[in-house]
Amino acid sequence: MIVHKKLANGFEYIEIKNSAAEAKIALQGAHIFHYKRADEEQILWLSEVSDFEYGKAIRGGVPICWPWFGFNENKNLPQHGFARVSMWEFIKSDESDEKSSSLIFRLTHGSQTLKMWRYKFELELHVTISDKLTMELKTTNLDCESFVLTQALHTYFKVSHISHALIKGLDKKPYLDALTWKNEIQEGDITFNQEVDRVYQEVTDEIILRDENREIHIKNSGSSSTVVWNPWIEKTLRMSAMNENAYEHMLCIESANAFDDRKVLKPQSSYTIKAVIF
Ligand code: BG6
């Protein structure tokens, strides 16, 4: 079942329920902010104090960072691009299978986007809600010039406690430490006892997030960079829409095209990044 909903302030989202799973997706940002399998715990983390207001990105779920990841050279432009705070169009859905619902959302250039980024484009998010969460983000260059794209499906995962969280699958991978801007090599699994903000490169294998009582798998395609992030104590205090202990219950594993993994799209060409979470 797919139901359009609206908060008292007019903020619109879509609620999806089938026999295998449920989800909620805001039209602003095509932002998935709730996903769980039937009879299981939430997979995505959502801040208890997140804003659901036009113009502000939801803190949690899966923000879409596009058409740039991180800061733009022009510091007046928003970090992580404009897609997460733009209104997308809900194009269509398919509920023919009782265990799976598919939805398509679209964002295209307009006067607002052209002020921030001069290219004409079409961006589509294809989401499938089943016992897996599947996200495919397809960029098409509708301009007569090539453009450079960096992007991320910036997934916030819920963990029972950060001290129990362990990430497998990145051993021996090179990474850029965004806290020191040094290039490093990962040794072993990733655990958390301080702020972590890293862009792993050459990522090809499945990533596993191990928590106290469960494992979540992330399979990416079209992306060879993975961002791993937990803001820890001090950064959490500086951030918007975060309770002071929020860092204890979340971490991000972001399926990205960032830094050296940026993509150049020629006119009329398309590029798709895909993440499957199960
Ligand atoms: C991550 C970055 O991708 O996003 C972090 O690596 C950043 O440095 C985080 O703090 C959250 O960004 P924002 O813009 O949603 O507060």
CA distance 109 to 123: 9
User: What stretches of 130-241 adopt beta strand conformation (E)?
Assistant: 133-141, 147-149, 151-158, 166-168, 174-177, 182-185, 196-200, 207-210, 215-221, 225-230
| pLDDT tens digits along 112-141 | 999 999 999 999 999 999 999 999 999 999
pLDDT at 7: 96
CA distances to 123, 177, 247 from 22, in Å: 24, 35, 25
Distance 116 CA to ligand 1 centre (A): 20
Q: Where are the domains of the chain?
A: 2-277
Distance 42 CA to ligand 1 centre (A): 22
Taking residues 148-174, what's their average pLDDT? 98
pLDDT at 118: 97
| pLDDT tens digits along 170-203 | 999 999 999 999 999 999 999 999 999 999 999 9
Residue 38: which H helix or E strand, with range?
A: none
| pLDDT tens digits along 96-107 | 999 999 999 999
Is the CB of 79 within 6 Å of ligand 1? yes
User: Ligand 1, closest atom to CA 57?
Assistant: 15
Distance 168 CA to ligand 1 centre (A): 22
| pLDDT tens digits along 221-255 | 999 999 999 999 999 999 999 999 999 999 999 99
Known catalytic residues? 154, 254
CA distance 240 to 268: 38
CA distance 195 to 197: 7
CA distance 169 to 210: 11
**What's domain 2-277's architecture?**
Distorted Sandwich (2.70)
Taking residues 142-168, what's their average pLDDT? 98
pLDDT at 109: 98
Is the CB of 250 within 6 Å of ligand 1? no
Token pair for 128? 């499938």
Distance 192 CA to ligand 1 centre (A): 17
Which of 51, 68, 80 should be mutated for ligand 1, with most atoms under 8 A from CB? 80
Bridge-based pairing of strands 263-265 and 31-37 is: unpaired
**Percentage of the chain surpassing pLDDT 70?**
100
Contact 61, 34 (CB under 8 A): yes
CA distance 33 to 60: 6
pLDDT at 98: 97
Is the CB of 227 within 6 Å of ligand 1? yes
pLDDT at 222: 98
pLDDT at 265: 98
pLDDT at 96: 93
